[in-house]
Structure 1
Amino acid sequence: MTSIFSTYSTGENRVTASCLAVLRSLSIDRMERLIGALLEQSEFQLIRFENQPSKGGAGIPDAIIQSSLRLLIETKTQRNTVRKDQVIRHLALLDEASETNLTLLMLTPDDVRPKTLDEVNDDRVAWTSFTTLDQAINELLEDPKEVVSEREAFLLRELQSMLETEGLTASLNDTVVVAARNAWPEYQELHAYVCQPNRSFQIVHRMGFYSQGVIYPLIPRITASFDDVVMEKNSHAGALGQLVNTLVDEGHRPEGERFKVMMLSAPDSPDTITLDQPIPNDKRSKSGKPTAFTMGQRYVPSERLLIAKVTSDLDEAE
């Protein structure tokens, strides 16, 4: 990937240039989706296309292509290195800008929003982590409604590999919370999570389930993981074989197809964390619209799940 990723000598410049190189290679729709995920703005638009903006009158065009955004990005490759004076200088540049939508995005390897940004207390400042970027790429690539070209998928996977090599997606988060409309009842019955083969997850020890606007109160331990399992009866040994037989016999999965299988501790197992109650989702976009806690997978610390009252508590610094 040396022909794509920058060879700048310093880490921050190299990582920033590599991220921008991949973003530039994506379609506008894919670029907007990734940046929107980082900014937590599901309605984010880089460019607005409008057909027949108004009717009648002299000098009225048939269409408008318009952008009013200025997005500054400051990248950090070390934890706890966000400096207040630097943030203030970047905001001063936004003060001089003519665009109407002004944002400073801080992209760092921190697990939680740096306290320095709260001290600045400016609504134009947004923060996200490389772990969130990695998650947003996974959700994009795994979305069946997205038609991602082979070239785009290759570049995005290579970017993920580079971020992992740089140690930027290493996280204190030990639990993956998955979208679970069907997975939650399946876990309660089968004590497993079954999804598309070779689905990518960070290294985690536990799994949570999100659906119907809540994170459910059982957080089982992941006891085993199998990336590519053929749903073929009597062809696997032990607990995996018993599970595959049940999945096929009870019609949970078609025989002969392939899936990733993660074995989980049972609801009543001492290895399963039981929360006091479900955690309601109160996540909102910047415009105030309700938005899902995750549409695919999201990583959080199990310690914070134990004390969270609403999902926004999972984003707060300890």
Structure 2
Amino acid sequence: MSIFSTYSQPENQITSTLLAVLKQLRMPVMQFIIQTLIEEPETDLIVFENQPQGNTSRPDARISSSFSYWFEVKRVTNAVNEKQIQAHIQLLNNTATSLQRLIVLTPDATEPAALVKYHHHGVVWSNFNTLYDVLVGLLDPQESPLRLTSTERYLLVEFTEFLEEAGLIHHSEPMVVIVPARVAWKDYHDYHAYICQPNRTFREASHMGFYLNKTIKNQIPKILNHLSNVELTPSPNSSASLNTLINAMQNQNDSRLGERHDIYFLSSPNDQDTLTLASDVVHHGKPFQNQRYFSLRSFRKPDLTDTSQL
């Protein structure tokens, strides 16, 4: 069990662990986690102003903040209590801060229907799978928008393990992991593989998709095998598939030869295990900075053209 676990009551244990981690993070990291979790990345929690105009004077500058994030955490599905939410909303209404959010964090796969009508009261829902993805994205040096300190990295690794150990991360059906693909899309066509930094963490997924230029590309290959932290150097002791990959990289004069990486071997574009869509899937929202997960079933929709349909 995680080193953060101190409370005997499971929900209190989860909440106290979350707060213990957030408290130790620098403000930009904490803000990124919460605002990405609730999909409000543009909100400024701290405002910096030059020469703000007051009623009677104009000071040279002001740094100000007025927000409250409240949490209601559930460790099992279908556990949201509407009366409890209503009572929390009354608390929000009686608190004098300009930005109020009640974050309801649950393991449900979709938002509980009882919460929808309270959105305009500042109630936002997210689940532990989304929180896990945000943390994993921060831990990825290639994809993270922020540089973590060694202490922050340690805390987030421990917290992701805690979420797994607590049984809060669920895989109810075959999933597709979507990866940012500035390099990966070309790698897939050159090598039929995904190459990333060693020991990268993914949730369980059966297939992989590629996000590039505001679209998910129309080929969704099956993940055939995964090798962790391997050196990209020819060796008689390596598997045939790894040596085939290395030979192909040598033919491309790939600069990653000799380095250590994780390798995901993928079905080829023409393989029957690769799901080929009628067209690329357009994404109109904020660009995917980290991996995202969608059900494989959602990609089989015959009229799929936009990520809002996933």
TM-score, normalised to structure 1, is 0.88
| CA deviation string 1:204-258 (max 9, x = no partner) | 1111111111111211110000111212134523111101121133123432111
Residue 274 (structure 2) aligned to one of 268, 272, 275: 272
Number of the residue aligned with 1:33: 32
Q: Are residues 70 and 132 of structure 1, via their aligned partners in 2, closer, same or farther at CA, if it must alter by over 3 Å?
A: same
Number of the residue aligned with 2:21: 22
Number of the residue aligned with 2:252: 250
Q: Are residues 65 and 192 of structure 1, via their aligned partners in 2, closer, same or farther at CA, if it must alter by over 3 Å?
A: same
CA distance in 1, matches of 2:52, 2:208: 51
Give ranges in structure 1 of 5+ residues lacking alignment.
284-290
1:1-318 map, 5 Å? 5-50=4-49, 52-54=50-52, 59-122=57-120, 124-144=122-142, 146-172=146-172, 174-235=175-236, 236-283=238-285, 291-292=286-287, 294-307=288-301, 308-314=304-310
The SS at the match of 2:115 is helix
CA distance in 2, matches of 1:195, 1:117: 38
Q: Which residue identity does 1:313 align to in structure 2?
A: Q
CA distance in 2, matches of 1:154, 1:217: 37
Q: Which residue identity does 1:276 align to in structure 2?
A: A
The SS at the match of 1:122 is helix
CA distance in 1, matches of 2:147, 2:182: 23
The SS at the match of 2:120 is coil
Shift of 1:60: 3.6
Q: Which residue identity does 1:115 align to in structure 2?
A: A
CA distance in 2, matches of 1:253, 1:76: 47
Shift of 1:71: 1.3
Give ranges in structure 2 of 5+ residues lacking alignment.
none
The SS at the match of 1:241 is helix
> Is the 8 Å Cα contact of residues 111 and 171 (structure 1) preserved in structure 2?
no
CA distance in 1, matches of 2:256, 2:269: 26
CA distance in 1, matches of 2:157, 2:272: 37
Q: Are residues 98 and 197 of structure 1, via their aligned partners in 2, closer, same or farther at CA, if it must alter by over 3 Å?
A: same
The SS at the match of 1:74 is strand
Q: Which residue identity does 2:87 align to in structure 1?
A: R
RMSD (Å) for aligned C-alpha atoms: 2.2
Q: Are residues 123 and 189 of structure 1, via their aligned partners in 2, closer, same or farther at CA, if it must alter by over 3 Å?
A: farther
| CA deviation string 1:253-308 (max 9, x = no partner) | 4321111110001111111112232211132xxxxxxx11x212111111112224
CA distance in 2, matches of 1:217, 1:113: 28
Shift of 1:32: 0.8
CA distance in 2, matches of 1:248, 1:113: 48
The SS at the match of 1:177 is strand
CA distance in 2, matches of 1:244, 1:123: 56
The SS at the match of 1:102 is strand
| CA deviation string 1:45-90 (max 9, x = no partner) | 333344x334899654333221121211111111122222222222
TM-score, normalised to structure 2, is 0.90
The SS at the match of 2:147 is coil
> Is the 8 Å Cα contact of residues 52 and 62 (structure 2) preserved in structure 1?
no
CA distance in 2, matches of 1:121, 1:211: 32
Q: Which residue identity does 1:191 align to in structure 2?
A: H
CA distance in 1, matches of 2:262, 2:80: 39
The SS at the match of 1:226 is strand
| CA deviation string 1:190-210 (max 9, x = no partner) | 211011111111121111111
> Is the 8 Å Cα contact of residues 246 and 257 (structure 2) preserved in structure 1?
no
| CA deviation string 1:161-196 (max 9, x = no partner) | 111001111233621111112211221232110111
> Is the 8 Å Cα contact of residues 234 and 245 (structure 1) preserved in structure 2?
no
> Is the 8 Å Cα contact of residues 105 and 125 (structure 1) preserved in structure 2?
yes
Number of the residue aligned with 1:288: none
